[in-house]
Amino acid sequence: MLYGDTFLLLSEAKVDAAMKAAFEAATNAALQMLGITERYQVEDIDCDTPSLGQTYLRVTVRGTNGQQASAIGMIPDPRAH
pLDDT tens for the chain, 81 residues long, are 888 888 988 889 998 999 999 999 999 999 999 999 999 999 999 999 988 889 999 999 999 999 999 999 999 988 876
Task: Provide the pLDDT for residue 36.
Answer: 97
CA 19 to chain centre: 7
Contact 35, 42 (CB under 8 A): no
Torsion angle of C-alpha atoms 32, 74, 20, 60, degrees rounded to 10: 50
Phi, psi dihedrals of residue 57, rounded to the nearest 5°: -135, 130
Whether the Cβ atoms of residue 41 and residue 8 lie closer than 8 Å to each other: no
Rg (CA), the chain: 14
Look at the pTM and tell me if it is higher than 0.85.
yes
